[in-house]
Structure 1
Amino acid sequence: MAVSNAQLRAFHAVAQQGSFTRAAERLCLSQPAVSDQVRKLEELFGVLLFHRTKRSVQLTELGEQLLGITQRLYAVVAEAQELLSSSRALQSGSLTLAVDSPVHVLPFIAAFNARYPGIRFNLVTGNTDEALARLFAYQADFAVLGRPVTDENLLSHVLSSAPLVAFVGLEHPWAGRESIVLADLDDTPLVLRERGSMTRQMIEDELRREGLRVRSALEVEGREAVFEMVAAGLGVGIVSAAEFGSSRAMRALPILDCQQRMTETLVCRRDQGSRRIIATFLEVVRSNSGG
Structure 2
Amino acid sequence: MAISHTQLKAFHAVALNGGFTRAAQQLCLSQPAVSDQVRKLEDYYGVMLFLREKRQVRLTEVGERLFGMTQRLFDISADAHDMLMDYRTLSTGTLNLAVDAPVHVLPYVARFCARYPGVDVKIETGNTDEVLERLFGYQTDIALLGRSIEDERLMTLPLRSDPMLAFVAHDHPWAQRESVCLADLANEPLVLREQGSVTRLSLEEEMAAAGLRIRKAIEVEGREAAREAVAIGMGVGVVSAAELGSDSRLRGLPIDDSRHRFTETLVCLRAQSSRRILTTFFDRVREELEGGC
TM-score exceeds 0.5: yes
Residue-by-residue CA offset, 1:223-276 (whole Å, 9 max, x unaligned): 000000000000000000011113442110000000100000000000000000
Aligned residue number for residue 33 of structure 1: none
RMSD value, Cα: 1.9
Taking structure 1 as the reference length, what is the TM-score of the superposition?
A: 0.70
The TM-score with structure 2 as length reference comes to 0.69
Find the counterpart in structure 1 of residue 71 from structure 2.
none
Please give the per-residue CA displacement for 1:41-86, whole angstroms capped at 9, x wherever unaligned. xxxxxxxxxxxxxxxxxxxxxxxxxxxxxxxxxxxxxxx9999447
Q: Do structure 1's residue 252 and structure 2's residue 252 form an aligned pair?
A: yes
Aligned length: 212
Partners of 1:165 and 1:189 lie apart in 2 by 16
- Contact kept? 2:113, 2:121, Cα under 8 Å: no
Q: Which residue of 2 aligns with 1:277?
A: 277
Residue 119 to residue 249, structure 1, CA distance change in 2 (3 Å):
same
Determine the structure 1 residue equivalent to 2:267.
267
Which residue is 1:233 aligned to? 233
Residue 224 of structure 2 aligns with which residue? 224
**Percent identity between the aligned chains?**
57
2: CA distance between counterparts of 1:83 and 1:92?
Answer: 8
Partner of 1:174: 174
Measure, in 2, the Cα distance between the counterparts of 1:82 and 1:210: 61
Q: Residue 203 of structure 2 aligns to a residue in which SS?
A: helix
Q: Structure 2: where are the runs of 5+ without partners?
A: 1-79
8 Å CA contact 2:191–2:220 kept in 1: the answer is yes
Q: Is the 8 A contact 1:82 1:276 kept in 2?
A: no
- Is residue 2:114 matched to residue 1:114? yes
**Distance change (3 Å), C-alpha of 1:195 and 1:81:** farther
Residue aligned with 1:190, SS: strand
Contact 1:187–1:212 (Cα < 8 Å) also in 2: no
1:209 pairs with 2:186: no
CA contact (8 A) 2:147 2:198 kept: yes
Shift of 1:209: 0.5
User: What is the DSSP-based 3-state SS (H/G/I as helix, E as strand, rest coil) of the residue aligned with 1:147?
Assistant: coil
1:89, distance to aligned residue in structure 2 (A): 1.6
Q: State the partner residue of 2:198.
A: 198
Bigger-Rg structure (1/2): 2
Name 1:59's counterpart in structure 2.
none
The ranges of structure 1 where at least 4 consecutive aligned residues each deviate by more than 2 angstroms after the TM superposition are 80-88
| CA–CA distance in structure 2, aligned partners of residues 128 and 186 of structure 1 | 25
Matches within 5 A, 1:1-291: 84-85=84-85, 88-290=88-290
Q: Is the 8 A contact 1:181 1:258 kept in 2?
A: yes
Kept after mapping to 2: 8 A contact 1:83/1:275: no
Structure 1 gaps of 5+ residues are 1-79
What CA distance in whole angstroms lies between the structure 2 residues aligned with 1:206 and 1:88? 47
